[in-house]
A and B are shown apart, each in its own frame.
Chain A
């Protein structure tokens, strides 16, 4: 769901950068207060993991491709604000060095993948855990459902951003919401969502079983 340059009109690009500015600031502040000597190398590693999983494209039945992002995974381990930092870093590298996602669209892409995705994923995970209770299997289900919800809500957000262009900015993405939303929803409900759910669930399940201390280190910074 990396929106390239040329899809979003200038107004949308500016608004999305303006929305992201305070979010980036809050994330930096959260990092200042909460990330310690242990969690910084962890965030560096998880950012590398996010970069890598985004290179694993999967075929979508309609002939296109999709990939997971890894935002929910970072959010569960280190908290959603750490995920904002990690995914934004990956997106900046992708945009400037690999042409994946536009530079003018970086605000929008960050909003979808570095903010909406980890926060939705994280709070769905927390909600599911409240319902299911503690234990390894409920942990895995909650992580999988959270990752699935996060990436799909983020994909819909991206679809809305370029789907509104025909109504507000001519010369940019010509496809309206009636086309953009089904196309994005299909790819992520059928392919990227299940991949994200399985991978996130397995990694979190493995950590819960073998190194619960690493998970709990990240659970606390969630508040505030």
Chain B
């Protein structure tokens, strides 16, 4: 791995450490408008049919880890898992594309 890329991954690692800020600074806020379970226009709240995909870590949290500390740990774990999956998936796609390329030549 090139030196600059190592540095970049270290910087990413730092942001992973502080990623719980992403829920802590918005703890008392509602969700993003139009995302997640329900949406409100101020007077009425509408809830869509429940999400049925059975996501293992819904809302980037480990079910039951509700308080600020445990939710932060769950969020942190979610970030690490998400990053690993992102890297593995892109490398996998690149590999598949490479095979496709080889096949055409």
Contacts and interface: CB of A to CB of B under 8 A. Distances in A.
With most chain A CB atoms within 10 A of its CB, the pick from B1, B26, B30, B33 is B33
B80 to A, nearest CB: 10
B1 to A, nearest CB: 8
Interface in B47-105: 48-53, 55-60, 75, 78-79, 81-83, 85-87, 89-91, 93-94, 97, 100-101
Interface residues of B, number: 55
Contacts of B21: 56
Nearest to B55: A99
Contact of B34 (A31, A58, A93, A158): A158
Given A32-B101, A99-B55, A64 B32 contact: yes
Nearest to A183: B33
A168 to B, nearest CB: 16
Contact of B30 (A47, A64, A172): A64
A47 B12 CA distance: 12
Contacts, number: 182
Given A40-B90, A52-B15, A6 B5 contact: no
B86 A48 contact: yes
Given A52-B19, A97-B56, A7 B90 contact: no
A97 B48 contact: no
A188 B90 CA distance: 28
B4 to A, nearest CB: 6
B46 A175 contact: yes
B48 A172 contact: yes
A101 B79 CA distance: 16
A64 B92 CA distance: 36
A96 B85 CA distance: 12
Interface in A78-127: 85-86, 89-90, 92-103
Given A55-B75, A100-B59, A93 B53 contact: no
B22 A1 contact: no
Contacts of A40: 90-91, 94
A4 B36 contact: yes
B52 A5 contact: yes
Given A45-B8, A96-B55, A179-B41, 5 more contacts: A45-B5, A47-B90, A62-B33, A97-B55, A99-B53
Interface of A: 1-7, 28, 31-32, 35, 40-45, 47-52, 55-60, 62-67, 85-86, 89-90, 92-103, 158-159, 162, 172-175, 179-180, 183-184, 187, 211, 214
Interface of B: 1, 4-5, 8-9, 12, 15-16, 19, 21-23, 25-26, 29-37, 39, 41, 46, 48-53, 55-60, 75, 78-79, 81-83, 85-87, 89-91, 93-94, 97, 100-101
Q: Which 3 A-B pairs have the closest CB atoms?
A: A6-B48, A99-B55, A99-B58
12 contacts: A1-B34, A5-B48, A40-B91, A56-B21, A57-B25, A60-B29, A65-B32, A66-B32, A90-B86, A99-B55, A100-B60, A180-B34
